[in-house]
Chains A and B, each alone.
Chain A
């Protein structure tokens, strides 16, 4: 069974602080996505990373894929209340069928004004 561990599970910070969320597996990913989910809504795709060592930036969000493609991180700079939500990483492995995703448990982020 391919597992994807996400940490921390909960994070409550003040507006303006920085934070990092981690996503780890013992298996090599073929690709990894980060999603953000609001209550009662479906996950919204933020980014896809496919190359080991890859770094992608989306405004104040920085996504990094580990060199060995077994881990990833999401860093948010100067968090704002609008960043509040559930952040999910989802991996796809070489041996599984194309768009089948395995999700982590998620990180519930709360940014307080």
Chain B
């Protein structure tokens, strides 16, 4: 067990709706990254937060946004959901930015109908 927890574990939303996913990072870790994993593919980097600031972003549109809180927990928000947003969303925490070892939560399975 990595100590990274995500909620909810499963979620079904309708196209056009908004969703918020949550992540509690491992104790002592100040860097959180979010990944999207479509079925049958490897995870794709969405963005990273370090000390409450966005610290790098992948090739995802602005309707994907995030927050990191003073306790280093994090949220991923997705607006105007599309069918292609259906995926496993993974949160990973690292001891600090610049450390490449990431510890993943169990993920949130989002289904958009």
24 A/B residue pairs, CB under 8 Å, sorted by A:
A31-B100, A33-B100, A40-B106, A40-B109, A42-B106, A45-B101, A48-B100, A48-B101, A90-B42, A97-B55, A98-B99, A99-B33, A99-B97, A99-B98, A99-B101, A100-B45, A100-B48, A100-B56, A100-B58, A101-B92, A102-B45, A103-B43, A104-B42, A105-B42
Residue pair A98, B106 in contact (C-beta under 8 Å): no
Q: Which of A31, A33, A41, A106 contacts B41 (CB 8 A)?
A: A106
How many A-B pairs with Cβ below 8 Å? 83
With the chains together, A101 CA to B94 CA distance in Å?
11
> Nearest residue in B to A89 (C-beta to C-beta)?
B42
The residue of chain B having its C-beta at the shortest distance from the C-beta of A108 within the complex is: B40
Interface size grouping (class) on chain B: 20 to 34
Number of interface residues of A (CB under 8 A): 26
Question: Among residues 4 to 60 in chain B, which have CB atoms less than 8 Å away from a CB atom of chain A?
Answer: 4, 31, 33, 35, 41-45, 48, 55-56, 58
A44 CA to B105 CA, complexed, in Å: 9
